[in-house]
Structure 1
Amino acid sequence: MTIHVRLQQLIDALDISVLEFARQLGERRGEKVYHILHGRLKPRYDTLEKIVAVYPQVNADWLLRGEGLMFKQLGSPSAAMNTEERLRNMEFLLFQLNERMALLQETNDLLRVEVARLRESR
């Protein structure tokens, strides 16, 4: 999953508009964020740094590399996040699992085709 997809998921999870997200990062207009979301620009380090500063609950490992949960767990998991954040994290984890399953299925299908081709060539 690319960073622009993760940013869109974050904006959706925060339940704010792209323009509001951009303004929270100190942008007057949402143009730069729109370009990032559509893959025309990659976010610069200072933009990522602002996101983590403005939204300290965001897991930087997830934002940068797609690893872990979207939101941090501070202290005990039950005290760290409210129910809505836990549900968003669970939805995100299910989304990740579905993506991985689709990729595994695609790989499996390609391997089956290759095995069939090798059997036919004998």
Structure 2
Amino acid sequence: MTIHFRLQQLIDTLNISVLEFARQLGEHRGEKVYHILHGRLKPRYDTLEKILVAYPQVNADWLLRGEGLMFKVLDSPSAAITTEERLRNVEYLLFQLNERVALLQQTNDQLLAELKQRGAEGMGPGM
């Protein structure tokens, strides 16, 4: 999953517009964020830092590398995770698991087909 996709997912999860998201980062217009979301620009370090400052509940590992949960759990009230955000974390994890299961099922199906084909090839006319 690309950072562009994760940013779009974050904006969707926060249930805000791209323009509102950009404004939270100190941008007057949403142009830069739109370009990032559509892959025309890659987010720079300062943009990523602004996201993490504006949204302290966002897990930096998830944002940068796609690892872990979208939101982190902290004792700090300024970064407290809500029940809704926890549910979104669980939904996101289920989405990731479903993607992995689908990929594993596809690989399994391909391997079974290959085994059947090899078995049929091994059974010649004289056998």
Please say whether Structure 1 and Structure 2 have the same fold, judged by a TM-score greater than 0.5: yes
Alignment correspondent of 2:36: 36
Distance 1:118 1:40, change over 3 A: farther
- State the Cα deviation string for residues 11-60 of structure 1 (Å, max 9, x = none): 01111100110111122221121121122222111111111111111000
Gaps of 5+ in 2: 123-127
Count of residues in correspondence between the two structures: 118
Gaps of 5+ in 1: none
> Which runs of 4 or more aligned residues in structure 1 lie more than 4 Å from their structure 2 counterparts after TM superposition?
none
Q: What are the equivalent positions in structure 2 for 1:14-93 lying under 5 Å apart? A: 14-75=14-75, 80-93=80-93
Once residues 89 and 110 of structure 2 are traced to their aligned partners in structure 1, the CA distance between those partners, rounded to angstroms, is: 32
Q: TM-score, normalised by structure 2?
A: 0.82
Q: TM-score, normalised by structure 1?
A: 0.85
* Residue 113 (structure 2) pairs with residue 113 (structure 1): yes
Once residues 55 and 23 of structure 2 are traced to their aligned partners in structure 1, the CA distance between those partners, rounded to angstroms, is: 13
Higher Cα Rg, which structure = 2
Identity of aligned residues (%): 78
Asked whether the equivalents of residues 57 and 81 of structure 2 are also in contact (C-alpha less than 8 Å), the reply is no
State the superposition RMSD in angstroms.
1.6
Once residues 61 and 9 of structure 1 are traced to their aligned partners in structure 2, the CA distance between those partners, rounded to angstroms, is: 15
- State the Cα deviation string for residues 43-98 of structure 1 (Å, max 9, x = none): 111111111111111000010111111111114xxxx4221111111111111111
